[in-house]
Each structure stands twice: as C-alpha cells, then as structure tokens.
Amino acid sequence: MSAARVVVIGAGILGLATAYNLARRGVKNVLVVDRGYLCGGASGRNGGGVRAQFSSETNIQLMRESIAICRDFASKMKINVWFRQGGYLFLTRTAERTRDLEENVALQNRCGLPTRMLEPSELPRLVPQLSTEGVRAASFNPGDGVVFPWPFIWGYARAAADLGVTIQPFTEVVGFDTHNGRITGVRLRPTKLSPLDAGDEVLPAGDAFTVACDDVVICAGAWSPQVAALLGIALPNKPHRHEICSTEALKPWLGPLVADLTDGLYFSQSMRGEIVGGVGVDPVPEGINQQSSRRFLTKYSRALVRAVPSLSGVRVLRQWAGCYDLTPDGGPIVGPVADPVNLTLACGFMGHGFMMAPVMGRLLAEHIDTRVTSPLFARWSLDRFARGELVHENMIIG
C-alpha cells in the first residue's frame, strides 16, 4: 500500500478496534502496522479482566459500554472469546484502602452499578476457599468478568480485514514525512523477529518505504514514546514490566476474579481450569522488558497461598511478562495534539487498555472520521501534564 487514509501504529486490541470502527464508518484505505506479531504486545500478555469497578465516573461509564460490547462480541464477530461474567471481588486489608473502597462503591452505585460492600464474614458465600484472615472489607460487582485475550484480538483483526483494512505485522515505523504542521507520510521498514529475544528485538529485513497518509494514530502501548519521539514529541509514559503465570488445570471452583488492593494480587480461573494471576513487584528494571523472574513467582505464590491456602500444592505450568504503559498520573493519553494536527494519540492506559479498547476504538474512530473532539479527550490530553490538571485512579491492581 503506497497511500492510506489512516495509518494506525500498533496492532494490539486498541489499534485493531480503532481500525475496525473506522472501516464500519465507511472510512477506506486504513492501514494497521506493528513491529511484531498479533498478540505479541500487552494485548496478548494480560489476564483478560474486564471490569467497571473504578474510582472515576469517566472510567465507570466507559467500562459499562465496553462490557456490553464484550458480552455481544462472540455472537457478532463469530468467534468464541470465552467471556464470562463471574464478577470482580476486591479485598482491602487497611483502613485507608477500605475508606477508598467505600467511596468508590458509593460512586459506582450512583452510576448505576450493582456493586456492594461485603464484610469478611460474607466472603465464603462467594469463594468458600478464600481465607479472610487480615481482610477488612470487600466489594463485589457481578457484572465484571474475564475474556480470553487472543481470540478477542483475532476477532477484531478478522472483522477489520473483512471490511477492507490492511493489517501489516512485522513492520516498524522508522520515521515520518511532515509539511506545514501535518504528517504527509509514514516511513516503514519490514522486520523479522530475532531468534535470541523472541520478539524483544527486531532486525532489518528489507528496505524502508513510505506510505502517504491523511491521519496517523499512535497506539503502540509501551513503544508509543519511541514512535512519538520520531516526531519530536516527548511522551511522559514509562514501560513497567508486569508478570503473570498460569497453573495446572483444576476442577471449577472460583467464580469471580479476586483482587487485593493492598498488595496487588489478582487471580481468576480460566474456562479450562487454570488459575491465572499476578501480583505487583517493585522495583523492576527500567525500559521495555518482557522477561520472567523468580522474584515475581516467589511473591505471587506467597500472596496466592495466603489468600487461598488450599493452593499450596498447585503446580505452575508457565510464566510470562508484558509491559504496562504508565503515565505520571496513571491516566491514559488520548486525543489529538497541536502539532502535527493530523496525529491522534491513544496510549498510557497502564493495565486497563485491553478492557477499555472496545469503547475507545469506537470513540477514536468517531473523532478521526468527524473531526469532532470528545470532551473525554480534553480530560486525557497530553497537555494536561503541562497544565497540572492530572487525573488519578485508585482502583489499580497488579
């Protein structure tokens, strides 16, 4: 393709959802490029959690719509994403976090969610195996759930391609052509994966070429700052490694995804029976790092066994890592920039990009197609950091 109406940089779920929604709106010649393979970034490395339990009305309302899209995704896209709404069960172990949770639940109720606060004595009704030692309080929303990430990505990719979107993996952005404050072309180079790093490094595999374009969207996750830097734009995002693991399959026993707001532990049971989860580990090496560590497995196993003592003998089958895309205030960077005027940013979603992508893809496509800027984009604009108008979210796990 030598010319495109829109070039979307990043073939994770957000990039693919944006391209799909652009094509649904009738936008022709949409190109999606990615330096690696589908599911190679954070979209294919997460636990698949989808929840509306947040501490801001913006996130709550967005996720109500996103969950509705998830619920209908399999039938609409004709692919099984194993979506199940077993709820999210949040635990607190300190007075401060309990107060936060109470305030958040009150806000969620005002926004129409059926979230309710629970006493420790009520938890065995939801998860009989869960230890309540040290737990002060909990919240539960039955509408939250979990999906299997890979088919969700494949579903968007296939649907976008069916509508005429060109998806080009193993293609990295090496530069931009600009004129009078606009991007006129994206310089691309085919790549191949390095066998030494299984995707963390790429080697040149072809000559660079340029695709002329009208609009560009950067939604490359932890790699977004590298891409934006080619335009002279300094993003404050920092990659932060987060690890996760999966155990052997067990008989079904766990309904909700359980998350501890004190130590960042979270775990759920897949449709095949594995316990899939993670825990926050600090500090981690700076930069993009998708290697696994024993330190994580040690901390996770201790936290998991404290929460569910009966899992002390369960065997771990595999362990992997991906990168959160962190901004200074924990909120994403979404919307247009002043220069170049035809660039839209969609990054910095931390660990929430996967679950927000279905609704954000629709909003981004609407903006690019109509040039109408959503008030949401002003809240999450890049220049909020210079203005000192930061946004904060305190229901963060992992």
3-state secondary structure 71-101: HHHHHHHCCCCCCECCCEEEEECCHHHHHHH
CA distances from 248 to 114, 150, 273, 308 (A): 33, 19, 8, 16
User: Above 50 in pLDDT, residue 198?
Assistant: no
pLDDT in tens, 74-89: 999 999 999 999 999 9
Residue 7 has pLDDT above 70, yes or no: yes
pLDDT, tens digit, for every residue of 130-146?
A: 999 999 999 999 999 99
73, 153 in Cβ contact below 8 A? no
Mean pLDDT of 360-380: 93
Instruction: Specify the pLDDT at position 200.
Output: 47
Residue 389 has pLDDT above 70, yes or no: yes
Distance from C-alpha of 242 to C-alpha of 230, rounded to nearest angstrom:
26
The mean of the pLDDT values for the chain is 94
CB atoms within 10 A of CB 122: 14
Q: Distance between CA 161 and CA 304 in Å, rounded?
A: 41
pLDDT at 197: 42
Give the residue extent of every domain in the chain: 3-45+150-238+328-387, 84-143+239-325
User: Given 1.10.220.150, 3.30.9.10, 3.40.50.300, 1.20.58.2030, which CATH number is that of 84-143+239-325?
Assistant: 3.30.9.10
Q: Residue 61 has which token pair?
A: 């309302």
Write the DSSP symbol of residue 283.
S
Residue 282 has what pLDDT?
85
Domain over 3-45+150-238+328-387 is classified CATH 3.50.50.60: yes
Q: What is the pLDDT of residues 92-131, one digit of tens each?
A: 999 999 999 999 999 999 999 999 999 999 999 999 999 9
Q: Which of 140-149, 193-202, 252-261 has the lowest mean pLDDT?
A: 193-202
Give the rounded percent of residues in the chain with a pLDDT score beyond 70.
96
Give the span between the Cα atoms of 281 and 288, in whole angstroms.
15
Stretch 277-297: mean pLDDT, rounded? 91
Q: For residue range 313-332, what is the model confidence (pLDDT) as tens digits?
A: 999 999 999 999 999 999 99
Domains 3-45+150-238+328-387 and 84-143+239-325 share a fold: no
Separation of CA 276 from chain center: 16
196 has pLDDT over 50: no
